Amino acid sequence: MPKNKKAKAKLPAKVIKYLDKAGLKHSLIEHKTVYTAFDAAKTMKRKFSEVAKTLLVKADRDYYLVLVSAEQNLDLEKLKTAISRERKSKVKVLKIPNEKIIKETLKVKKDESLSAFAGLYRKPLFIDRALLKVKKAVFASDSFNYSVELSVKDFIRLENAALASFGIKKKVKLVSVKKAKVKLNRSGSKSRKS
């Protein structure tokens, strides 16, 4: 294969089969390679509130998939409370495992991404209530080049997801950029002034 030719993007076969079996109306969206929900939203020119970010968390010894919109971060304390309430026992330690643990625990292959479809991994799923504000959302398939758009209510029903409020708006820090003034010193070399 010539070096300048791109490899064909891998279709998310497991997800397609899973959705077809469930009989849900959905759209498969092909896009450039993305690794974050934020980048997926920008690439697909979607509002950040319409794109779900998928995370894996470990609550004591149990793993859960968690979805928030791309415009949100996770409030671990609120999530800890929600998981404790759902499983009827207090969560002592809640953390986000590293990528290696995610791949080992969920048996995600090197060329696959973490899918939003928790049923594929047989893990419980928590969804932030903010995702209910949109009728349809874009969810991660198991591919870096495809996403799935479907009704949020259908997704919740399919995954038997627990709803809670644990997302917080991302705090964006604006950085101002100043142009540096360049001044020649006596020797003729440039010196910068901020």
CATH number, residue 113: 3.90.960.10
Count how many domains the chain has: 1
Among 73, 37, 58, 36, which residue's Cα sits nearest to residue 167?
73
Domain range enclosing 78: 13-168
Among 124, 55, 53, which residue's Cα sits nearest to residue 83?
124
Asked, for residue 3, whether it belongs to a domain, the answer is no
Asked, for residue 192, whether it belongs to a domain, the answer is no
Amino acid code (one letter) for 36: T
Asked, for residue 7, whether it belongs to a domain, the answer is no
Asked, for residue 17, whether it belongs to a domain, the answer is yes
pLDDT of amino acid 76: 95
CA–CA distance, 96 with 184 (Å, rounded to integer): 52
Asked, for residue 185, whether it belongs to a domain, the answer is no
Asked, for residue 177, whether it belongs to a domain, the answer is no
Asked, for residue 146, whether it belongs to a domain, the answer is yes
pLDDT of amino acid 7: 46
| Per-residue model confidence as pLDDT tens for the chain (194 residues) | 344 344 455 677 889 899 889 998 998 888 988 888 888 888 889 998 999 999 999 999 999 999 999 999 999 999 999 999 999 999 999 999 998 988 889 988 877 888 999 999 999 999 999 999 999 999 999 888 889 999 999 999 999 999 999 999 876 555 555 555 555 556 555 555 54
Rg of the chain over Cα atoms, rounded to whole angstroms, equals 21
Residue 144, helix vs strand vs coil: coil
The tokens of 48 are what? 């950040």
Record the pTM.
0.79
Asked, for residue 190, whether it belongs to a domain, the answer is no
